[in-house]
Amino acid sequence: MNNILVIRSSVNGENSVSNQMLDAFLTQLRAKHPTLNVIERDLAQHPIPALTPETVGAIRAGVTESATQVQADQLANTLIEEIKSADAIAIGIPRYNFHVPATLKSYIDYIARPRVTFQYGANGPEGLLPHDTPVYGFVASAGYYSNNPETDYLSAWLKQVFSFVGLNNLELIHTEGFAMGEEHAKAAFAKTHERIAQIVANS
């Protein structure tokens, strides 16, 4: 592994569980791959603008008639190139009100570009990003949700939207229940650290 793209979306900085799990992952990866190049995007510190009536034309159709549209088009191209250049992608995903942070939704809105990262063929949508790039989503939840499809629509949505653009190799690593007492937190962190060790060992 030479290049990894790291995306942080928590607003809680060092206190964020998803950021802490990303940091643990990166520490172990760097120990195994000393020359690892890390491209990092902190969506809380540098948020992706929400789509507007003006910028949606730039993202969806490449319209660049205004300076704002040019900036949106250039940003989307940069984000997509970062994905294409990565050997792996790691994303910190806190569960806010049962879904992803708004900043991560905006990020996805910018990378989902018709005829660039997906297209419609005779059999429906086709993702155009590299299918074999591993994507590790570190999902942090204060309660327990991952085993209940009625409450965990976050996971289903992430799998659908990443597959839609071609990133089919998505694994979600859930750190959950950590707000329900010390024993729950210890078990949650231990489970995630165990999976991190397995991923790094096979990297």
Helix (H, G, I), strand (E, B) or coil at 146: coil
The predicted pLDDT at position 142 comes to 95
Give the pLDDT confidence score for residue 149 in this predicted structure.
Answer: 87
> E strand or H helix at 193, and its extent?
helix 182-201
For residue 36, the model assigns a pLDDT of: 96
Q: What's the distance, Cα to Cα, between the start and end of the chain in Å?
A: 7
- pLDDT value at position 112? 98
d(CA 187, CA 183): 6
Task: Please check whether residue 89 is in contact with residue 143, taking contact to mean a CB–CB distance below 8 angstroms.
Answer: no
SS3 5: strand
pLDDT value at residue 147: 86
Q: What is the pLDDT of residue 181?
A: 96
- 């209940």: which residue's tokens? 148
pLDDT for 184 equals 96
Looking at residue 167, what is its pLDDT?
Answer: 98
Delineate the domains of the chain, giving CATH numbers in brackets.
3-201 (3.40.50.360)
Strand 135-141's sheet: what is its strand order?
37-42, 3-8, 88-94, 135-141, 170-176
- pLDDT, averaged per 10 consecutive residues of the chain (203 residues), comes to 96 96 98 96 97 96 96 98 98 97 98 97 94 97 92 95 97 97 96 97 94
Measure CA 56 to chain center. Answer: 21
CA distance 72 to 82: 15
DSSP-derived secondary structure letter, 115: T
**CA–CA gap between residue 1 and residue 89 (Å, rounded):** 11
How do 88-94 and 3-8 pair as beta strands? parallel
pLDDT of residue 4: 98
